[in-house]
Amino acid sequence: MAKMKRAFALLLALASVTWASYWMDDINHQGIAPFNPLKNYQVFRNVKTWGAMGDGVTDDTAAINAAIADGNRCGGPSCGGSTTSPAVVYFPPGTYLITSPIIGFYYTQIIGDPTDMPVIKASGNFPTGALALLDSNPYMNTGELNFQATNVFYRQVRNMVFDTTAVRGRATGIHWPSSQATLIQNCVFRLSSHPDDTHSGIFMEEGSGGMMADLVFHGGKYGARFGNQQYTMRNLTFYGSDTAIDQIWNWGWTYKSLKIVGSRVGINMSSSDVGSITLLDSSFVNVTTALITGRNPGNTTGLGSLVIQNVEYKDVPTVLAAADGTPLLLGAADGTVYDTGYARGNTYAPRGPYLIEGRELAFSQPQTLKLGDRYYERSKPQYQEYPASSFLSARDHHAVGDGVTDDTDALSTLLHTAANSSQIVFLDAGYYKVTDTVFIPPNTRVVGEALASVIMGVGQKFSDPSNPRPVVQVGRRGDVGFVELSDLIVSTQGATAGAVMIEYNLNTPAAENTCSQGVPPSGLWDVHVRVGGFKGSQLQAADCPTTPIESNYANPACVAGYMSMHITPTARNLYMENNWIWVADHDIDDWNSTQISVFVGRGLLVEGSRIWLVGSSVEHHTLYQYQLLNASDVWMGQIQTETPYYQPNPPAPYPGTQLNMALEDPDFAADCRPDAPNRPLSLEGDPPCAMAWGLRILDSKNVVVFGAGLYSFFNNYSTSCSTTKSGENCQARIFWVGQDTQGADKMTVELYNLNTIGSVSMITQGAVDLATWDQNRATFASTLAVFRSQAQV
């Protein structure tokens, strides 16, 4: 293989001028993986360099799989995870014929040329027993997935066409058991609709995701079959799939901007393992039955909760049917029916539970968050309209990215140069160690590589929790301008108790109310925070072992952050999509995924206005995961949180004993006192009180949450508090809505499809438990359909 590779490398060098068109192919490939033991480890791989022809005739299977596997990467039964062998596997335009599956490895980005999308075409003799054309996580002989689905992070598939039409019988485009920081974007699936064939675009049966966007499905018995804890899916279009979406199971799911045309069934959510679906800004055209539910009228559990907002049905005889076919909601066989708002499930508005099965609820739908009649949305820029010369490579500008050299000055200079020249910064894969704040000036665009471009704060300047300091600062308070950042990770190394991983201050002058003119909102796509649990972090299994025995102990060497992300009061018009803010609960590079104890005080604090959080997750911070403080016009759609596994050993706020009242840190000492006034009922019995909040909203206006999964699985590393169904006893409370202290302006918070695990109370307002888990039993999670805060007191 090595010889062949060299030969093709030569060919590529000669031919590159004519082949290349997309900047990602044209650009110098200088990305590195500094913690990989191979000195010449290659991050970027053009499949043609490994011999793929893309001519629609040659069998390219072996060449593609070699391009993926080269360099002793993480795949096969001997590897369950790794951060040291990231790769971009790039496909130039062409039709790549395959005769057996392409096998996905850990930390792999499969990216095609978006200007002329490559086609992966299964040959007529593709084995029908094979799970998928792209099997991102094959089943091993043991019957288990190669990678535990809930630990599959940091991978993407973009700009690819999957064509199964030549296969008779069973065929699937992508097998995708996946979790946080994963993405399938801008892909097309061409599937057989022959009645003898069972084709499906995507099959996903497990995981804790995740994001998909901008997908088009043609035909198939199923457009897609989805099962996962939670997901956010935006801009999916189905043409002529018999069943567009088969919802295998979930706790919560957010579908935005779906379009389903010419199907027998739109979404089949009839399985009793479906917790909830939130569907908005969508349309069904020529569909016999738009939705099938397993939840029968009068059912007062949380199962199969359904919330619909702004959906149009054209030539749809039945909008909603029971599993046995009984119509529950009619459409018009020949005409259009429009739903402003519809809900089916338990309602707290603010008191409950009341069963709602219909349209009687007015949804607030803040116009300030919309473009026209839909909530604003914006796909990740891939810059296909720019030549390679528009990009400034970090490595060409004296940044080293080897995880050792101090790159603070190099990055700062580069970012200023780029902002001054309107060029786009290409942060080649690498670990950019910085010893002071990296400032991202207004009017800057930065794109990373392989989800392996890591800005890593280290040292003295980030060590003082009484003087917190940003690792990456986007604009200064009061700055006006825009940014576009994508495919980046912000991180730390070692003890950095004063680090704020991302501070976002920018006010983007996007057109107000409609976003239709002038500059769009700024955007952060696939920008993640990762603290600990990876090679180079000095916060791994050997450094930060779990400490189940000694109470109230936190190893100071493992206190690694003050706050993961701060969107400050001056921030305005920010669109975020697919962001995972993670304090590691386990070591990804450890063979056994060993659990670790790493401490960061605060998760994501939002104080700004006009903020969209589309598909986000914040996990394992000590005080809270999300906190909204005097924020306004905030759209959150499928948010997901986890309480730290170590709590209550030590309990919150430990080790962050110094509270910052200017940031309204929760005061556990006061709240959890046995003689606290108006002590809520959820504190009776033994559920621990001093536990991180999943979501805390104070003094905020026009907050709409479309899907939330707030989970607490562990106490002191044991799941017995969440797995025994005698009670959800891991913590007393998880979601708090604060009273209005601002006077005139009343708080307005609406939350659709709240799914919680391990918490006695699902919603606490002031000292009142508005909803408890046992009122809303559903799947493994408890689910309620609608919550509206006490807006008009």
Ligand X SMILES: *[C@@H]1O[C@H](CO)[C@@H](O)[C@H](O)[C@H]1NC(C)=O
Decide if residue 281 touches ligand X (CB under 6 A): no
Decide if residue 276 touches ligand X (CB under 6 A): no
704, amino acid identity: V
Decide if residue 224 touches ligand X (CB under 6 A): no
Nearer to ligand X, 332 or 404 (CB): 332
For ligand X, the binding residues in 540-579 under the rule CB under 6 A are 548-549, 551
Shortest Å distance, C-beta 420 to ligand X = 4
User: Would you call 368 exposed, middle or buried from its count of C-beta atoms within 10 A (0-12, 13-18, 19+)?
Assistant: middle
SS3 string, 453-479, reads: EEEEECCHHHCCCCCCEEEEEECCCCC
Do 627 and 664 meet the contact criterion of CB atoms below 8 Å apart? Answer: yes
Contacts for 332 with CB less than 8 Å, ≥ 6 apart: 313, 315, 316, 317
636: nearest Cα among 290, 257, 232: 232
For residue 277, give Cα distances in angstroms to 238, 273, 334, 634: 18, 12, 27, 20
Decide if residue 377 touches ligand X (CB under 6 A): yes
Decide if residue 589 touches ligand X (CB under 6 A): no
Do 576 and 618 meet the contact criterion of CB atoms below 8 Å apart? Answer: no
* 115, 326, 417, 720: which one binds ligand X (CB under 6 A): 417
* 18, 466, 592, 726: which one binds ligand X (CB under 6 A): 592
Using the contact rule CB under 6 A, the part of the chain among 68-76, 195-203, 268-276, 361-369 near ligand X is 268-276
Decide if residue 727 touches ligand X (CB under 6 A): no
Nearer to ligand X, 337 or 768 (CB): 337
Shortest Å distance, C-beta 413 to ligand X = 5
Using the contact rule CB under 6 A, the part of the chain among 110-118, 119-127, 392-400, 409-417 near ligand X is 409-417
Query: Residues 57-62: contacts with CB within 8 Å, 24+ apart?
Result: 57/97, 58/97, 59/97, 59/98, 59/99, 59/123, 60/96, 60/97, 60/98, 61/98, 61/99, 61/100, 61/102
Distinct helix (H) and strand (E) counts, the chain: 6, 50
* 46, 109, 270, 309: which one binds ligand X (CB under 6 A): 270
Shortest Å distance, C-beta 11 to ligand X = 32
Using the contact rule CB under 6 A, the part of the chain among 89-97, 297-305, 687-695, 721-729 near ligand X is 297-305
315: left (phi over 0), alpha (psi -120 to 50) or beta: left
Decide if residue 423 touches ligand X (CB under 6 A): no
Nearer to ligand X, 248 or 452 (CB): 248
Shortest Å distance, C-beta 614 to ligand X = 11
Tokens of 643: 């309480």
Angstrom distance (rounded) from CA 88 to CA 112: 10
Using the contact rule CB under 6 A, the part of the chain among 127-135, 262-270, 665-673, 767-775 near ligand X is 262-270
Nearer to ligand X, 127 or 381 (CB): 381
Contact letters for ligand X, residues 500-539 (x by CB under 6 A) = ----------------------------------------
* 240, 403, 520, 666: which one binds ligand X (CB under 6 A): 240
Shortest Å distance, C-beta 599 to ligand X = 16
Nearer to ligand X, 114 or 470 (CB): 114
Shortest Å distance, C-beta 719 to ligand X = 12
* 632, 722, 748, 783: which one binds ligand X (CB under 6 A): 632
Tokens of 696: 């805390």
Nearer to ligand X, 221 or 602 (CB): 221
Shortest Å distance, C-beta 65 to ligand X = 26
Where do we find the tokens 């054209």?
314
Using the contact rule CB under 6 A, the part of the chain among 9-17, 224-232, 263-271, 518-526 near ligand X is 263-271
Nearer to ligand X, 78 or 466 (CB): 78
Decide if residue 379 touches ligand X (CB under 6 A): yes
Query: 10 Å Cβ neighbour count for 517?
Result: 9
* 60, 113, 206, 214: which one binds ligand X (CB under 6 A): 214
User: Would you call 550 exposed, middle or buried from its count of C-beta atoms within 10 A (0-12, 13-18, 19+)?
Assistant: exposed
Where do we find the tokens 């102990």?
553
Angstrom distance (rounded) from CA 501 to CA 472: 6
Nearer to ligand X, 127 or 317 (CB): 317
Do 450 and 155 meet the contact criterion of CB atoms below 8 Å apart? Answer: no
Decide if residue 148 touches ligand X (CB under 6 A): no
Contact letters for ligand X, residues 676-715 (x by CB under 6 A) = ----------------------------------------
Per rule CB under 6 A, count of chain residues that contact ligand X: 35
Decide if residue 416 touches ligand X (CB under 6 A): yes
Shortest Å distance, C-beta 185 to ligand X = 8
Query: 10 Å Cβ neighbour count for 632?
Result: 21
Where do we find the tokens 């005739």?
57
Angstrom distance (rounded) from CA 725 to CA 722: 7
Shortest Å distance, C-beta 94 to ligand X = 20
Query: Residue-wise over 667-687: b if at least 16 C-beta within 10 A, else e?
Result: ebeebbeeeeeeebebbeeeb
Nearer to ligand X, 46 or 247 (CB): 247
Contacts for 598 with CB less than 8 Å, ≥ 6 apart: 531, 532, 533, 539, 544, 558, 560, 583, 584, 620
Count of residues for the chain?
Answer: 793
Tokens of 448: 């990373």
* For residue 210, cis peptide bond before it (omega within 30 degrees of 0): yes
* 47, 132, 191, 303: which one binds ligand X (CB under 6 A): 303
* 156, 230, 235, 682: which one binds ligand X (CB under 6 A): 235
* For residue 77, cis peptide bond before it (omega within 30 degrees of 0): no
Using the contact rule CB under 6 A, the part of the chain among 25-33, 261-269, 670-678, 688-696 near ligand X is 261-269
Decide if residue 368 touches ligand X (CB under 6 A): no
Nearer to ligand X, 103 or 258 (CB): 258
Using the contact rule CB under 6 A, the part of the chain among 80-88, 162-170, 267-275, 753-761 near ligand X is 267-275
Which segments of 643-738 are extended strands (E)? Answer: 693-698, 701-711, 735-737
* 630, 767, 780, 791: which one binds ligand X (CB under 6 A): 630
635: nearest Cα among 615, 658, 665: 615
For ligand X, the binding residues in 172-201 under the rule CB under 6 A are 186
Decide if residue 295 touches ligand X (CB under 6 A): yes
Decide if residue 294 touches ligand X (CB under 6 A): yes
Using the contact rule CB under 6 A, the part of the chain among 39-47, 168-176, 412-420, 431-439 near ligand X is 412-420
56: left (phi over 0), alpha (psi -120 to 50) or beta: left
Query: 10 Å Cβ neighbour count for 453?
Result: 27
Decide if residue 99 touches ligand X (CB under 6 A): no
Using the contact rule CB under 6 A, the part of the chain among 174-182, 203-211, 294-302, 399-407 near ligand X is 294-302
* Nearest residue to ligand X, scored by beta-carbon proximity: 262
DSSP 542: T
Shortest Å distance, C-beta 42 to ligand X = 26
For ligand X, the binding residues in 435-494 under the rule CB under 6 A are none
Which segments of 5-60 are extended strands (E)? Answer: 44-46, 55-59
Q: Which residues bind ligand X (CB under 6 A)?
A: 186, 214, 216, 235, 240, 243, 262, 265, 268, 270-272, 286, 292, 294-295, 299, 301, 303, 377, 379, 413, 416-417, 420, 548-549, 551, 591-592, 609, 630, 632, 649, 716
